[in-house]
Every structure is written in C-alpha cells, then in structure tokens.
Amino acid sequence: MLTTTSCISAGDEVTPNVILGIHGGIGEDKKDMTPDLEAKVRAALNAALNAGKGKLDAGGSSLDAVEAAIRVMEDDPILNAGKGAVFTHEGRNELDASIMEGKSKKAGAVASVTTVKNPITAARAVMEKSKHVMLIGNGAEIFAGKQGLDIVDPSYFWTEHQWKAILEVWKQEAEAKAKNEHGALPENQLPPIHKFKFGTVGAVAIDAMGNLAAGTSTGGMTNKMHGRLGDSPIIGAGTYADNDAAAISCTGHGEFFIRYAVSHEIVSQIKYKKVSAKDAVEDVINRQLKEINGEGAAIVLDKSGRFTTARNSEGLYRGWITADGTIQVRIYDK
Ligand code: ASP
C-alpha cells in the first residue's frame, strides 16, 4: 500500500538526445539509505549505462543495449533482479523478465524461472528463437538450457540482505497472526512490508536506425505467492516499445500496473491523444495510479530520443546517457 510519506509526485525533466535510459526500481526509502548502499547503487547504474552504450557505440541495436544494461543489473546483488532477487512467501526466488522492440513489435518474456541466470537474455531468446511471446516456469528453463544460456542452481540467487528481508516479513506475519485468532488478516492489519517491495530493473534505448527497445527484469515482490506474476514480464504492463511513440519500462506494485496496462497506456496516449511523452507518463503514474494508491514509476524514451521519468514514490534508482556520453544518475531528486 502507498504510505503517506512516500505518496509524492515527482519526475525528471525531459532530456533530449538520450540513447539509453535505465532504472533499478524504487529502492530504499530515504531514511533507510546508507552512504555505502547509495555508492553501490550509483556504481551499478553507471556500469549498466556504460555496458549499454558500449553496444550502441559498436553499432549494436537498441535491443543489444537494453539486454546488456539489464544483464549488468541482474548480476549485481543489490538490485532485485537476477542475483539479488527477493524471496517468495515460500522462501524461493522466482524471476520474471520481458523485452520488446519497437519496429516489428516483436516481444519475448519468461516468468517464474528459478534457474536462469539472466532472465532478460532468456526473454530475448523467446522472442528471437521461438514462435511464442512468453514461456513460464520449467518450460522456460528447459528452453533456456537448450539455447545454451547460463543455467544455475537456485541457490545462486540467495543473498543475505534479501533473506533477512523475508525473515523479517515472516516474523511480522507470525506476530500479526498470533494477535488474530481468526486466521486471515484484514487488509488494514497486514504487516508493514512496504519497504521490501520494490527493486526491479529496466532499460529503454534507441539505436542509429531509430529503432526503440525496452526491457524489464525482476524478482517480483517480497513475500509474493508461489506462481505470482507482476507486470514486469507482461508486454503492455511493465514493458512496451513502439517506434511510432516510445519505449517504456515500469517498476512498482505490479498488480496495479497490470490492471492499468501502464506501458501500453502511455504509448497510446502519445500515439492517439498526441500528447508528449512527459504528459502521458505523468498522467498515468501521477494521476491514474496515484488515485488508486498504485505505487510506482516509469521511464520513457520517445521516438525522437527525449527521455523522462515519472514516479509517485519517494525514490527511483535511475540514469540516462546521451549520444555525447554524458551520464546522469539519480536516486531521489538528485
Ligand atoms: N513490478 C514488480 C512486480 O510487481 C516489482 C517492482 O517493480 O519492484 O513484480
């Protein structure tokens, strides 16, 4: 649920000539941020931007840049994607990812995978090497193995900080249940798990051909039910790219982003309502979602290379890089 302290409207200015924009989720509330974590987040975002730019500089496509940037963030244990994914209610890691390119509108996704080291690469393989858009669970893992992708033991995804987070949630749940002899808890008595919820990663890029791409990868939300999917693997919810409008990647409380088809809604507003990317993303994140307490954020790169973001959360780990190599990395207002 959206807390009053985090219920703010914020976003970044519009920056022209951006070739790659990324996010690392909403992240820690400001009061919980430490200098050490902040330095690690900024280093991770810088590394991801440089990896993506490296692909574009070498003549790669926007898809190459999106995949490269996201792989760096998936491999970084401080972000909730790949290594560093949150734990489910049952104490496992179930990962989701999707990718889309804006010219052909081809897309790929994997969901609920437990052994695929880089889900974004598996999503791309589904797009390019299967006749499907989404593969889930064991089927996705078998497919990824057949494609020669890195397969790991599920224990690879274990990290101490995420394990501590789920232990704390279990403790809060047990305490809350002990106080309530009737079992199920009313919504307003659910444990305060807000601070553990978000941390997905995503990227949007445009290449020399003017083709847009977007991708998103996540461990989902701490304490999610086994088998639960959020918006991140769902094309039109967490990820969308359309060369006639923009590329978008979202982060936040996935159930709301699915119901409001957020990334497709932003694209539709740009395309049919003829509003700017800035107006579209602000309308969806800071009006539509805010009205229903749907906490989250989106990054948007339009077809002319103008980049912006909107969030109704306190922070958003994010960054962007322009064609001349200038990097911006921000967490809250800066
Ligand atoms: N959107 C993701 C989900 O609901 C969570 C996040 O963005 O951190 O699974």
Neighbours of 237 (CB within 10 A): 26
State the pLDDT at residue 58: 98
Q: Is the pLDDT of residue 187 over 70?
A: no
**Is residue 227 within 8 Å of residue 112, measured between CB atoms?**
yes
Determine if ligand 1 sits within 6 Å of the CB of residue 202.
no
Q: Which atom of ligand 1 is nearest to the CA of 224?
A: 9
| Alpha carbon distance, N-terminus to C-terminus of the chain | 25
Domains of the chain: 12-330 (3.60.20.30)
Rg (CA), the chain: 18
CA of 296 to the centre of ligand 1 (A): 9
Out of 232, 239, 318, mutate this one to test ligand 1's pocket (max ligand atoms within 8 Å of CB): namely 232
pLDDT for residue 182: 57
DSSP 327: E
Residue 251 CB–ligand 1 contact under 6 Å: yes
pLDDT reported for residue 6: 44
**CB distance 112 to 127 below 8 Å:** no
What is the tens place of the pLDDT at every residue in 86-115? 999 999 999 999 999 999 999 999 999 999
Q: What is the pLDDT of residue 29?
A: 87
φ, ψ dihedrals at 290, nearest 5°:
-65, -35
pLDDT over threshold 80, residue 194: no
pLDDT at position 184, please? 57
For residue 41, what are its two tokens? 């987040």
Ligand 1 geometric centre to CA of 126 (Å): 21
- pLDDT per position as a tens digit, 214-262: 999 999 999 999 999 999 999 999 999 999 999 999 999 999 999 999 9
Q: For residue 224, which of 184, 253, 264 has the smallest C-alpha distance?
A: 253
Nearest to 69 by CA among 18, 33, 137, 141: 18
Query: Angle between the 137-146 and 119-129 helix axes, to the nearest 10 degrees?
Result: 80
Would the CB of 198 count as within 6 Å of ligand 1?
yes
Average pLDDT, the chain: 92
